[in-house]
Amino acid sequence: MIQKALLLDTINQQATINFEAAGFEVVTFPKNITIPEFTEQAADVDVIGVRSGPAIPAEIIQAAPHLRAIGCYCVGTEHIDKVVAAENDVAVYNAPFDNGRSVAELVIGATFSVMRRLQEHNRALHAGNWTKTEQLSYELHGKTMGIVGYGNIGQQVGGMAEALGMNIAFADITRRTPNGRATQMRFNELLEVADVLTVHVPGGQNGPILNNDAFARMKQGAYVINTARAQAIDYDALAMALDTGIVAGAALDVFTNEPKKNGPGFVNQFQDDPRVLLTPHIGGSSQEAQISAANTVTAKLIEHCYEESFMANT
């Protein structure tokens, strides 16, 4: 019997190529699919592949009796009901390392932008205003990059930033072996020394990592970058920190209510603030990262199905 893969239509075409080469039938579906539509599509599939959305709740898993595995072509798996998946012997795979370089490069690019006010000057010149000035513009060299979460992405950010002449400090819930000249310190100590603070954790058990108390401890005039999860930062607290000058600028790639498809509909409190660089959750959206994820996750799904088939026939 031919096995069937149901893939989100934004997953790189390499996934389809790999599935078809392994003998799978491939069907695609849109990111903004409704639950009833998704449930109907999933009724006879062996694997489902998504990126950071749409969510796969219990009702979809329970309505797919042939489902063997779900592949998240991204880092996070929180949009999958993993408890129900486990109860139904459905494996969940992801790509924890494939977009690390892509995200790290975005962090470095965002750091250049907010410290040299590139997004502000870009807006001004597109509006016909000449804004040549050295005011509130700084070099990265000699500044301290503070990294919250020193995992795969955080370590790559540190390596790139150190190559640019920055000092590297990081905080993590576990003891980590530092790369290069990086120094591990307590979170509150990190807040006090970081000129740029980049977040690479999903958030704390008790709420956002960066809240009013955290911002009050930060070095005056620091910059904040978030390419992890919107829940990691209290954005209302960030707005207050910007208004008081504690934070000089920010770059945000993740938001609490992200549109389900491209086009109009994005609304955010920082849209009119030139100090804030906004990007549409593109940390892992490079061609290289998506091809790598397509190869990695698809290989895991194919191997899982082959192993299950082998065990069923022995």
pLDDT digits (tens, 9 = 90+) for 119-137: 999 999 999 999 999 999 9
How confident is the chain (314 residues) per 10-residue block, as mean pLDDT?
A: 92 97 96 93 96 93 97 93 97 95 98 98 97 97 98 97 98 95 98 98 86 97 97 97 98 93 94 97 96 98 86 62
pLDDT value, residue 133: 96
Q: Which of 229, 288, 303, 304 is catalytic?
A: 229
Q: Does the annotation count 181 as an active-site position?
A: no
Share of the chain above pLDDT 90, in %: 90
Quick: pLDDT tens for 27-43. Answer: 999 988 999 999 999 99
Alpha carbons 172 and 160: distance in angstroms, whole number:
19
Exactly one of 105, 189, 281, 308 is catalytic; which is it?
281
Nearest-angstrom CA–CA distance, 28 and 8: 6
Verify whether residue 121 is a known catalytic residue: no
The first and second tokens of residue 62, run together, are: 């329970």
Indicate the CATH number of 4-98+288-312 among 3.30.1950.10, 3.40.50.720, 3.40.630.30, 3.40.50.1820. Answer: 3.40.50.720
Q: Is the four-CA dihedral 227, 229, 233, 238 of positive or negative sign?
A: positive
Based on the residue annotation, tell me whether 258 is a catalytic residue of this protein: yes
Kindly report, residue by residue over 160-205, the tens digit of the pLDDT.
Answer: 999 999 999 999 999 999 999 999 999 999 999 999 999 999 876 7
- Edge-to-edge strand order for the sheet containing 69-72? 25-29, 4-8, 47-50, 69-72, 91-93
Query: What is the C-alpha separation between 275 and 140, in angstroms, rounded?
Result: 17
Q: Which of 105, 258, 275, 308 is catalytic?
A: 258
Do 4-98+288-312 and 100-285 fold alike per CATH? yes
Q: In the chain, where are the structural domains located?
A: 4-98+288-312, 100-285
Q: Enter the CATH code of domain 100-285.
A: 3.40.50.720
Q: pLDDT at position 206, please? A: 80
Pick from 93, 21, 22, 27: nearest CA to 56: 93
Res 2: pLDDT? 86
Q: What is the pTM of this model?
A: 0.91
Residue 56 near residue 80 (C-beta atoms within 8 A): yes
Residue located via tokens 């003998």 = 23
pLDDT, residue 313, reads: 65
Q: According to the model, what pLDDT value does residue 314 have?
A: 59
Question: Any alpha helices (H) in 1-151, and if so which ranges?
Answer: 13-21, 35-41, 58-62, 82-87, 100-116, 118-126
pLDDT at 80: 97
269 φ/ψ angles, rounded to the nearest 5 degrees: -65, -15
